[in-house]
Structure 1
């Protein structure tokens, strides 16, 4: 019997692709609850891996001791502070909502304006006329919106439960990755090399640089500014300093800066007549507000040189797409993609021809093709 050569077996190819697709979808379906926690842990481990290696060297080369030390550091930096902040937010949400929705919101008298040289009395007189003429009516008009906004913000506290779940998964996966980091990294590089040879391996390394740059430039800067701003609020005697610190860190993560919280606090101190601490907080706010202009570029360039518009888009887009954890994932996704595309584009030299000559050459080719067609 003669062997009949067969061409492409289309049904076999189609069913193979369907089976592979089904297995991929099933795998993602199973691990879907752990994806965000594992992604967060991966970013934390990649960003702090040099620190873990140093700790291992200091701890007599014992990986187990280094993993324990890094776990304690993560608990001190993430678990305990966030737990305290969430607890404080839940405890203080009731009084803040009651204050915002009450009918006793009045504009302050601001008698301290009279102490301003030259223009102080005129400013106080203008403010006094504003309060007498329409200040109360203005506050009555905007008061319902203040209450609704406050209720909406504190209603989002329910999402903290899911956030804390991802936080716990992040800690668990971080311990595993610290313990087996080299094996995991080698496996990822091997898989990337199988897909794209040396280019795939280089893509993994570039992705690691981008992740470290985002972690250092965005997260560390936000934490430093938020903590320093919170210290200033606490020392100045601002009430609900813990909640305001949370808001300040959040505003720094979304690239709005700490002044969104610090400026109203300064105004409140002057309104209440505490001009001394108001001036101290004003000076401290100038330092904290400008710190990111120095700290963020320096930290980002320690990992990879990334444009700020990319970081800003990743933070806002990640927040919309994934919630609070998207503040960390969004910039990383865009940063990794940007680095890979940038390297791919620069594999070839940039065109040196004059644009007009290129346009004329294309026009001539199109004209010849049109003539030949006739």
Structure 2
């Protein structure tokens, strides 16, 4: 009979556990993004779930169903509305582009006098006036040559919609069984991390909430302010443009791409004053509010370096795609919080019997 105290007998269970973990990871790897989205949505909306559970008399399944339905409406209704606005705008965009190509507006003197750029713009306007159909033909040829990319983009949209449906289905089970999952996680981690498990999890939870809320709420405020500026400037569909700006605001330093492009479009239409107004509003208000609100939200639970958040966003996007906008900074911020708790525990006086 083999000796159970031998190193080999203790090593075999760990090797079996490692192999099982690897197999589970291999099977679940296609579903990591929907699982991550479900976890993020459930975590940020958990207070609502608790209220619904109380209203439903503690019936977890009913409360989880209602919370999932509300989450689905919150996600799907704006998405459908945005698609409807987009297709309406595309229908108006084609005649607007045709009229712009047929009669490009006069360029302001200050723009034509700009070095290099002014000469290039004057040349492009002259080429349009001489051969307005040439650009349309070139555009059609470009789209024909990039048909595969367009098909790939459409296929990507279909996959993302399927992931959204899977995330909502997963969200129901996270709502229903989330409390039990957390209790089991605490129990397992306590075997490895010891009595400091609750402190680590509390720090990680507060950091996650601050990072997610900080990014989401700041982006929403930036999108609303940008949409207000677009409306005042007379741009079509300011709400849709504001939503697009909010999406850009989730990425550090990307907001100027949105309001800068909107101002450039106004400038090309000859609306110089409106273009300058959009640029000034974007630079002085939309982009600057990020430097005020996001540190307030994130620093409310601790001193998280901005560089850490920046690396988290950029690295998260490269590693996980869109979900990395939240997963990346959350992972680094949680690691930062756990490190802080650990170092504080090292500096603290030892408890009797520890």
Match of 1:261 in 2: 258
Deviations 1:49-74 (A, max 9, x none): 224334555x4756566545533442
Contact kept in structure 2, 1:55 and 1:66, CA below 8 Å? yes
**Native 8 Å contact 2:3 2:9 kept in 1:** no
Is the alpha carbon distance of 1:227 and 1:77 closer, same or farther for their aligned partners in structure 2, counting shifts above 3 Å?
Answer: farther
Contact 1:226/1:248 (CA < 8 Å) preserved in 2? yes
1:136 and 2:134 matched = no
Distance 1:275 1:220 in 2: 32
In the alignment, does 2:181 pair up with 1:184? yes
Structure 1 residues 116-135: aligned runs within 5 Å = 123=110, 126=113, 131=118, 135=122
Q: Which moved more, 1:266-275 or 1:166-175?
A: 266-275
Higher radius of gyration, 1 or 2: 1
Native 8 Å contact 1:217 1:295 kept in 2? yes
Residue 331, structure 1, aligned to residue 318, structure 2: no
Which segments of 5 or more consecutive residues in structure 1 lack a partner in the other structure?
114-122, 351-374
Q: Could you say if the C-alpha distance between residues 45 and 268 of structure 1 is closer, same or farther in structure 2, counting changes exceeding 3 Å?
A: same
2:168 to 168, 171, 196: 171
State the partner residue of 1:362. none
Confirm or deny: 8 A CA contact 1:207 1:340 kept in the other structure.
yes
In the TM superposition, what is the alpha-carbon distance from 1:339 to its structure 2 partner? 1.0
Q: Which residue of 1 aligns with 2:345?
A: 347
Q: Distance in 2 between matches of 1:83 and 1:66?
A: 25
Rate the CA distance shift 1:289–1:195 in 2: closer, same or farther, 3 A.
same
**How do 1:74-85 and structure 2 match up within 5 A?**
74-85=71-82
Asked if 1:300 corresponds to 2:294, the answer is no
Root-mean-square deviation (CA), in Å? Answer: 4.3
What aligned pairs does 1:302-317 form with structure 2 within 5 A after superposition?
Answer: 302-317=300-315
> Secondary structure in 2 aligned to 1:348?
helix
- Distance 1:305-1:79 versus aligned 2 partners, 3 A rule: farther
Question: After the TM superposition, which of the residue ranges 185-194 and 256-265 deviates more from structure 2?
Answer: 256-265
**How big is the shift at 1:199?**
1.9
| Partners of 1:191 and 1:127 in 2: CA distance | 66
What secondary structure is seen at the aligned counterpart in 2 of 1:238?
coil
Alpha-carbon distance in structure 2 between the residues aligned to 1:129 and 1:37: 48
For the structure 1 residues 93 and 270, does the alpha-carbon distance in structure 2 shift closer, same or farther, using more than 3 Å as the test?
A: closer
Contact 2:199-2:341 at 8 Å conserved across structures: no
* 2-structure distance, mates of 1:182, 1:129: 63
What is the rounded CA distance, in whole Å, between the counterparts of 2:155 and 2:231 in structure 1? 27
Structure 1 CA distance, aligned partners of 2:69 and 2:232?
28
In the alignment, structure 1 residue 198 sits paired with structure 2 residue 195: yes
Alignment of 1:1-374 (within 5 A): 9-54=6-51, 56=53, 59=55, 66-85=63-82, 109-111=106-108, 123=110, 126=113, 131=118, 135-136=122-123, 156=153, 158-230=155-227, 232-233=229-230, 236-239=233-236, 244-245=241-242, 247-274=244-271, 277-278=274-275, 281=278, 284-285=281-282, 286-349=284-347
Question: Take 1:207 and 1:226, find their aligned partners in 2: how far apart are those partners?
Answer: 28
Q: Is the 8 A contact 1:44 1:215 kept in 2?
A: no
